[in-house]
Amino acid sequence: MEPFSTIYDSENEILTNYTLHEEKKISDMKGYFINEEAREKIEKEENKVVYKVYKQDVPLIEGELLHCLTCIQPGNVDGQFFMTKGHYHLNEKCAEIYHCLKGDGLLLLQKEDQIKILEFKPNAIAYIPAGWGHRTVNISFTKSLVFFSVWPAQSGYDYERTMKEPFQSSIVKDKESYKIIRR
């Protein structure tokens, strides 16, 4: 493949010349928030976008790196902040790097009975070791959370595992801030 570069357009919160764009709406998040009834209500009323992903395709072969921009909208479902679905990598030998560009968030990480919650603010560069499940939460009431990620092209995604072994912590509104609760 040929070398290439992309531009992060911070004003519009997109990665220009992306080849793949995904939008996860409330309707795509069935079973991910604690209050499923509240999620269904939002789906029927407005079906808001929860997060967007802009990705550049590369060959899914050893040595290549995938990278993308994720933008999580501000919002909540019955007080539980908008977040990504979260996943483990199918290939448990694959780590990942997240670089926060904009907003205010938390990165939830877990591996078996170990849990880590990292602050995720602009300029934070988080290292997600191989084997750790990862989910990002936007804890701002008004701003998007935007971050860039890089990971091996052969990682794959395991979303089902986060359903069988759900994230142990949820991030909910607490007055003007947030609190962490056990799920």
Binding site for Zn ion (CB under 5 A): 96
How many CB atoms lie under 10 A from the CB of residue 63?
A: 8
Question: Among ligand PAN, Zn ion, none, what binds residue 94 when CB lies within 5 to 8 Å by partner kind?
Answer: none
Q: Scanning the structure block, which residue is given the tokens 């939460």?
A: 137
Cα–Cα distances in angstroms (integers) from residue 57 to residues 12, 138, 150, in the given order: 21, 26, 12
How many CB atoms lie under 10 A from the CB of residue 19?
A: 11
- Of 48 and 111, the one with the shorter C-beta distance to Zn ion is 111
* DSSP H or E stretch at residue 80: strand 80-81
Shortest distance (Å) from residue 175 CB to ligand PAN: 28
Question: Among Zn ion, ligand PAN, none, what binds residue 85 when CB lies within 5 to 8 Å by partner kind?
Answer: ligand PAN
* Interacting residue with ligand PAN among 86, 103, 105, 152 (CB under 6 A): 86
* Per CB under 6 A, 100 contacts ligand PAN: no
Radius of gyration of the chain, Cα coordinates, nearest whole angstrom: 16
Position 180: which residue type?
I
* Interacting residue with ligand PAN among 32, 104, 134, 169 (CB under 6 A): 134
- Contact set with ligand PAN (CB under 6 A): 53, 68, 70, 84-87, 96, 134, 149, 151, 155, 157
